[in-house]
Amino acid sequence: MLMSTISNRFAHQLLDARAGSALMPRLSQDTELSMADGYEVAKRILDIRIAEGEQPVGRKIGFNNRKVWSKFRSAGPIDAPIWATIYDSTVRYASDNRALQSLVGAVQPRLEPEIVFKLRKAPAKSATLAELASCIEWMAHGFEIVVCPFANWQFEPADAVAAFGLHGSLIIGEPHILSEASRRNLAQVLTDSSISLSSDCGEGFSLRGAGFGADVLDSPVHALMHLHKLLQTQPEFAPLAAGEIITTGTWTDAYPIAAGETWTTAFSGVSLPGLTVAFV
């Protein structure tokens, strides 16, 4: 376990790098860092951000797509999801499923198309997958803009946990209230669904990637279950609660983005509209 002075130093270094839109060395470069250490730094950052007036509104789940686990870790592949807090300052809603988003200050930004849930009630500790789905009020499509303060997107999992879970901002499309019937089938419907992701960099739209709900830990609902169980092993953090927004992880690779580009999505197998975001 890290000494509290080291945890505080790491927390402030990460906050300063974020405020200054700067790169910094990996925390694990000179210090052996366990996942528990990463979450300890994340907890200190959470406390600091709350003290400065930001309000937690939910969580993001990261590294839940097994197809991208091998891309970022400096010493070997990622092999498990992580999570991080999201805030009122980092979440916004897209009007008519279209948004204009500034990338000013975003360090090495990438785009991830995701499914977002809002919880209507807290799940029981022993909730089954069906009982967990019954706790969801609505789902929506979202774009998470992920950022990285470590050069070339190379880090250890604990670095990513400490560095805000690599969360930059979240753009949420039109929420769809779920019926009891749709909740019962939600996990399987999302497992069987797919998404296409296209971009226009000035020469018209072209397909950039595609993915399936099954790639997201078998389903975004399964990803939510993973988070629910993980939080039960982390008493320093609050369990899932009513009203929380949970973004469940990317369906595709995380694609680098730049000002002047427009990105759009389309779903198959689930009745959700696509989302279009123009970056400036």
On the 0-12 / 13-18 / 19+ scale of CB atoms within 10 A, 224 is buried
Give me the pLDDT at residue 202, please. Answer: 85
Q: Tokens 């995701």 sit at which residue?
A: 114
- Spatial separation of the C-alpha atoms in residues 20 and 27, rounded to whole Å: 17
Q: At what angle do helices 4-19 and 35-51 cross, to 10 degrees?
A: 60
Give me the pLDDT at residue 142, please. Answer: 98
CATH, residue 134: 3.90.850.10
Looking at the 3D structure of the chain, how many domains does it have?
1
Give me the pLDDT at residue 70, please. Answer: 63
Give me the pLDDT at residue 175, please. Answer: 96
Give me the pLDDT at residue 3, please. Answer: 77
Coil, strand or helix at 62: strand
Residue 30 belongs to what domain range? 4-279
**Residue 225: CA count within 13 A, CB half-sphere:** 17
Which residues of the chain, if any, have pLDDT below 50? Answer: none
Give me the pLDDT at residue 146, please. Answer: 98
